C-alpha cells in the first residue's frame, strides 16, 4: 500500500478498512484493532502564524515509535473554537491529545471546555495546588490568584505532574467519556513542558490502553541526485507488489526519502528493489543526513574538508558544522562573495574574473584550488552562481551555478547546473549538489 508522507500524490490511495477498538471490561482497547488518535493543537498564535506549530511532526514521530499513528490533526485558536473541535474528535477517536490552553489567563479555557464537552464537573485538586505553590516558592515568587485555575480538574481525571512549568496536564480515561470511548489527554503547549510530560505520563497510558508491545518496523532510505518521478516510473509498480509493504516518498530540495513500513521481510524486499535501481544515489538507509554522510566518508578516508562559497553565502559550511564532531574534518569555510574576496583570499587571478566573469568554470576551478591551497585540506568544494531574481544574462541566466571540487594530489572537477528556484531554495539546492559531489569523490 502506498502512502504519501508529504501531502502530495498523483493517484488515489488504497485504504484499509479496519474496525474501531472496543473497550473491554477493564476499560482497555481491543489491541487487535486499529487505534484512531487525533491531535488538537490550540493557540491563536498558531493560527495567526506568529508561532510555528512543531507539535504535529513531533507527535507523529513519537507515536510511530509506539506502533501508533495519528489519524487526524486540527489547529484551532484559543477560546470556543476548541469546543467544536473537541466535540467532533471525542465522538470518533479512540484517543485525543489536546495541547495548549492550560495557562492562568482568561483565554486559557481548555480544561473548562473539556469538562463541558464530556459532561463532567470541575473540582480543585489540592495536590495540584500544593505543587503550584511549591513551584513558585522555589523561585521566590508569590503565586497569583489566577494560577489557582490551573489546579481545576474534571472529577475522576488524573493530574499529570509538570515539574517544568505551572500547567499540570490532565488525563480523562475512556470510562469517563459519555460521548464515546476516547481517552483525552490535556497537555501544556510549550515543548519544554509538553515533551517530558508526554514521554513520562502519556506514553505509559497509551501503551496500557492499546496493548502495544512492539512498534511497526520502518526503514527510511535517503537519496540525492534523483527525482521523485524517477522512483514512481522505475520502481513504484514493483514496490506495490510486495506483500505487507506500505511505502511512500517525501521530496525535499535535492533529496527524496523513501519510507518502507512492514515486517522485516517486506522492508528488505522494498530496500532491494530501490537499491537495484538507485544504489549510486543513496545517501543512507539509517536516517543519516547528507552532511553527516559526507563527514563520515571523509573521516573514513582521512580527509580534511574546506569550502569556498559565493552564491550560497556560507550555507554549505553551516550545514556541515550543524553536525556534532565536524571539527575534526572541516577546517575552513571561505565566503568570498565579492570579486575582491575571491582574488585576495583565494588567489583567483584578476584576469580570470575580467575575462570570464565570477560565474564561470575557470573561476569556480580557481576558487576550489585556492581553498585547497590556503586551507591545507584534502578536498575542497567551491560554488559561484546567480541566485536572482536579477543579475542574469542570455548566456548566464538566473539560476546558473558553477561548482568545482579539488582533491589534493589529484584533479579538479567542474560542473554547470541550473537551479530555477527562489533565492532560499536556490542556495539549498546548490549546497545539496556541492555536498553530493564531495560524497561521490569520497566514495
Distance (Å, rounded) from C-alpha 253 to C-alpha 243? Answer: 31
Q: Which of 253, 243, 245 is nearest to 222 (CA)?
A: 253
pLDDT of residue 176: 86
DSSP 18-56: -PPP-B-TTS-B-TTSPPPEEEEEE-HHHHTTSS---HH
Same domain (yes/no): 163, 51 = yes
Whether 314 is covered by a domain: the verdict is yes
| Distances, alpha carbon 204 to alpha carbons 171, 187, 199, 200, in Å | 12, 15, 8, 7
Same domain (yes/no): 280, 303 = no
Domain finish residue from 244, 262, 284: 284
Distance (Å, rounded) from C-alpha 156 to C-alpha 384? Answer: 65
Whether 301 is covered by a domain: the verdict is yes
Same domain (yes/no): 52, 196 = yes
Show the cell assigned to 250.
Answer: 517525501
Bridging pattern class, strands 282-284 and 218-224 = antiparallel
What's the pTM value of the predicted model, to 2 decimals?
0.68
CB-CB contact of 273 with 241 (8 Å): no
Judging by beta carbons within 10 Å of its beta carbon (0-12, 13-18, 19+), is residue 164 exposed, middle or buried? middle
Whether 14 is covered by a domain: the verdict is no
CB-CB contact of 433 with 291 (8 Å): no
Whether 95 is covered by a domain: the verdict is yes
Return the CATH number at 270: 3.30.70.2860
Same domain (yes/no): 139, 275 = no
Give the residue numbers spanning the domain of 257. 218-284
Same domain (yes/no): 205, 222 = no
CB-CB contact of 170 with 160 (8 Å): yes
Same domain (yes/no): 206, 299 = no
Same domain (yes/no): 186, 51 = yes
Whether 390 is covered by a domain: the verdict is yes
What is the chain's length?
A: 443
Match 478498512 to its residue by C-alpha cell: 17
Residue 405, beta-bridge partner list: 381, 413
Bridging pattern class, strands 122-124 and 330-335 = unpaired
Bridging pattern class, strands 37-42 and 95-99 = parallel
Identify the DSSP state of 389.
S
Distance (Å, rounded) from C-alpha 328 to C-alpha 53? Answer: 35
Return the CATH number at 319: 3.90.950.20
Residues of the chain predicted below pLDDT 70? 1-34, 212-216
Same domain (yes/no): 178, 47 = yes
Whether 126 is covered by a domain: the verdict is yes
Residue 170, beta-bridge partner list: 159, 186
Match 503565586 to its residue by C-alpha cell: 143
Same domain (yes/no): 42, 143 = yes
Whether 96 is covered by a domain: the verdict is yes
Strands (E), 121-245: 122-124, 152-154, 158-160, 169-172, 183-187, 218-224
Same domain (yes/no): 226, 130 = no
Domain finish residue from 284, 312, 341: 284
Domain finish residue from 181, 210, 239: 210
Same domain (yes/no): 59, 201 = yes
Q: Which of 29, 436, 341 is nearest to 210 (CA)?
A: 29
pLDDT of residue 193: 94
Same domain (yes/no): 237, 164 = no
Whether 246 is covered by a domain: the verdict is yes
pLDDT of residue 32: 38
How many structural domains are present in the chain?
Answer: 3
The Cα diameter of the chain in Å comes to 85
pLDDT digits (tens, 9 = 90+) for 234-265: 999 999 999 989 888 888 899 999 989 888 89
Amino acid at each position: 500500500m502506498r502512502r504519501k508522507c508529504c501531502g502530495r500524490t498523483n493517484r488515489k490511495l488504497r485504504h484499509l478498512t479496519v474496525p474501531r477498538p472496543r473497550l473491554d471490561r477493564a476499560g482497555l482497547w481491543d489491541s487487535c484493532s486499529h487505534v484512531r488518535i487525533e491531535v488538537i493543537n490550540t493557540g491563536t498564535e498558531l493560527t495567526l502564524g506568529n508561532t510555528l506549530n512543531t507539535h504535529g511532526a513531533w507527535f507523529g514521530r513519537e507515536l510511530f515509535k509506539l506502533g501508533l499513528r495519528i489519524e487526524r490533526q486540527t489547529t484551532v485558536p484559543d477560546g470556543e473554537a476548541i469546543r467544536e473541535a473537541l466535540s467532533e474528535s471525542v465522538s470518533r477517536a479512540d484517543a485525543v491529545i489536546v495541547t495548549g490552553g492550560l495557562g492562568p489567563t482568561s483565554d486559557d479555557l481548555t480544561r473548562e471546555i473539556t469538562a463541558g464537552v464530556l459532561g463532567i464537573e470541575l473540582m480543585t485538586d489540592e495536590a495540584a495546588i500544593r505543587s503550584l505553590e511549591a513551584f513558585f516558592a522555589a523561585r521566590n515568587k508569590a503565586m497569583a490568584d489566577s494560577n489557582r485555575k490551573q489546579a481545576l480538574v474534571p472529577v475522576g481525571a488524573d493530574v499529570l505532574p509538570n515539574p517544568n512549568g505551572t500547567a499540570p496536564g490532565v488525563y480523562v480515561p475512556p470510562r469517563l467519556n459519555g460521548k464515546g470511548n476516547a481517552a483525552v489527554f490535556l497537555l501544556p503547549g510549550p515543548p519544554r513542558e509538553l515533551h517530558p510530560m508526554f514521554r513520562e505520563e502519556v506514553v505509559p497510558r497509551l501503551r496500557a490502553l492499546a496493548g502495544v508491545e512492539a512498534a511497526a518496523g520502518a526503514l527510511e532510505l535517503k537519496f540525492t541526485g534523483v527525482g521523485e518521478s524517477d522512483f514512481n516510473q522505475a520502481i513504484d509498480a514493483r514496490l506495490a507488489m510486495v506483500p505487507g509493504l506500505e511505502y511512500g516518498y517525501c521530496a525535499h530540495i535535492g533529496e527524496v526519502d523513501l519510507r518502507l513500513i512492514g515486517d522485516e521481510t517486506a522492508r528488505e524486499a522494498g530496500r532491494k528493489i530501490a537499491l537495484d535501481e538507485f544504489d549510486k544515489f543513496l545517501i543512507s538507509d539509517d536516517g543519516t543526513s547528507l552532511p553527516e554522510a559526507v563527514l563520515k566518508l571523509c573521516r573514513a578516508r582521512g580527509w580534511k574538508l574546506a569550502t569556498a562559497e559565493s552564491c550560497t553565502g556560507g550555507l554549505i559550511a553551516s550545514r556541515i558544522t550543524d553536525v556534532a564532531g565536524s571539527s575534526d574534518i572541516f577546517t575552513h569555510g571561505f565566503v568570498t562573495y565579492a570579486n575582491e574576496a575571491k582574488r585576495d583570499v583565494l588567489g583567483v587571478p584578476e584576469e580570470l574574473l575580467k575575462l570570464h566573469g565570477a560565474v564561470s568554470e575557470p573561476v569556480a576551478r580557481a576558487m576550489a584550488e585556492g581553498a585547497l591551497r590556503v586551507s591545507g585540506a584534502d578536498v575542497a568544494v567551491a560554488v559561484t552562481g546567480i541566485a536572482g531574481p536579477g543579475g542574469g544574462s542570455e548566456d548566464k541566466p538566473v539560476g546558473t551555478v558553477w561548482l568545482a571540487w579539488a582533491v589534493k594530489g589529484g584533479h579538479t572537477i567542474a560542473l554547470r547546473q541550473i537551479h530555477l528556484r527562489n533565492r532560499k531554495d536556490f542556495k539549498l539546492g546548490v549546497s545539496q549538489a556541492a555536498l553530493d559531489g564531495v560524497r561521490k569523490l569520497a566514495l
